[in-house]
A and B are shown apart, each in its own frame.
Chain A
């Protein structure tokens, strides 16, 4: 986004959409579900882009597209300025790797830690078994595990240790981008902080770029450099972390931030001013998709979809900030 930057963004999404055809009932007609709707993002090397939104907003689909596990219906994904197609998943695998939420389900229980971590090397035919062992030992040290765990199995490890193994597997190919899908939400508080510290250290040490998907906004605020807020398949606000948390613009972002429960006993439970129901993504509301739940809804929001407005670093998709912004309905 920032001008004057000579190197292309390490990861760029241009107008990416993913539409599923959902069949309702046994003989029902198929209806399109826009899981990801015209999303454009770009990450510079070393960025941590926090992606937040409610379940069903499309953030997991976006992650799958980046990992090459789903092909976008339209639009382009570029790594280092080169477009990637669905056909070269193996090449993509060297550059983008995932870390998943549940360390109990992300490691194959039948495989030893050595086999799990060295799998990427074996799949891509890198080195012989001796050099693969050496690489596994090195990466175990990097993620803070002793090399004697190589012969252990996932069932012998704690949640935190498993997540370290998952991180080791993601990093052994020296990828540029790591997609972290809720990497700490299944972990205990005391372990979560260790994993967050580790992710932060690894980023500084190896110049990694993260796409960090989380529903925990406190964690996103802590780790991210940029934050994108997603609602019903669209990025409704995107900004550097400081700008987004200090001066949120979109009413949905405001509601999200208001619902963060910090350990401050004097504050009580906040009122988010959001309606209870997340809309059906197959039949999204007209106009601005957020208008039925919006506390600052205007007449125009019901009919006209807002356009993206951006002042350099901070972009938002809301009628409150358009050129011809109208009067808010009280």
Chain B
């Protein structure tokens, strides 16, 4: 057959998208650092009971405010003890659970809400788009911290309340980004081709559009995770987030602030951990954006 002869000569060139992705991932230092730190903290959070040397709630009023080893403390409490004599390292380790839990669930809830709204707006356009855009504008007009403070003040602070409040407040960026990504992809001819094949609307969205916008979604997930973790810390610092004695990093900073002038490490240690976690998540997000963005065309 003549028509095969023509194209057999044309070799299939280049790596698959998967191979290209792998190559870029392993060439991106920021991304690798982010993954390493986040992975480490995730392991710490999961295996907290095994790793923590003490019970994070156990008070020892005789051993209050012992300094960490590097400031002349003992190995009994490597990072010292707080104003109630609780082991600071153990509280830090359990605190990772709180931060990641809040970051993860808040991003999950807001991601579901925002993605659903954004994709619907971008795909259907018209009135749906108008409604969603209106909701986004309403949401953007609300100051997050003040609203969160008000709700927590009414319903009382607890882990669940903080997660729900943040989850229902942080969806705006998801909606904005997913809406514009969907708008871009929906005009591609492969979407029209899928419609002409007879695909149902849900199939077109889930199998043709979603795979092409999921990279943007992942980036927003990381950004909002970092956002949620910082907001939790801020709320806890103000006393309206997670309630004592739960070991939250923001709460630890808050509890240490009275002694800050005399024992600056009480604030510095949870502060630095918080900083490293948020930095790692942001590096991960930036890295993911870099490695997934230039994919569609060579």
The residues of A with any CB-CB pair to B shorter than 8 Å are 67-69, 89-94, 96-98, 100-102, 104-111, 116, 119-120, 123-124, 141, 143-146, 148-149, 151-153, 155-158, 160-161, 164, 166, 169, 173, 194, 197-198, 201
Contact = CB atoms under 8 A, between A and B. Distances in A.
Nearest to B192: A69
Contact of A108 (B15, B190, B297, B298): B190
B6 to A, nearest CB: 6
B190 A144 contact: no
Contact of A155 (B192, B203, B297): B297
B133 to A, nearest CB: 14
Contact of A105 (B8, B189, B197): B189
Nearest to B3: A144
Contacts of A194: 3, 6-7
Contacts of A148: 12
B196 A68 contact: yes
A108 B17 CA distance: 12
B194 A105 contact: no
Nearest to A92: B198
Residue among B13, B190, B208, B295 facing the most chain A CB atoms (10 A cut-off): B190
Interface in B186-211: 188-190, 192-199, 203, 208, 211
Given A152-B16, A155-B297, A155-B298, A123 B198 contact: yes
Specify which of B17, B195, B196, B208 lies most central, judged by the most chain A CB atoms within 10 Å of its CB.
B196
Given A105-B190, A109-B295, A156-B16, A161 B7 contact: yes
B211 A104 contact: no
Given A104-B297, A108-B212, A153 B17 contact: yes
B10 A161 contact: yes
A201 B3 contact: yes
A155 B296 contact: yes
A198 B3 contact: yes
Contacts of B297: 104, 109, 155
A155 B21 CA distance: 13
A115 to B, nearest CB: 9
Q: Name the residue in A90, A101, A107, A109 with the highest tally of chain B Cβ atoms < 10 Å from its Cβ.
A: A109
A13 B17 CA distance: 43
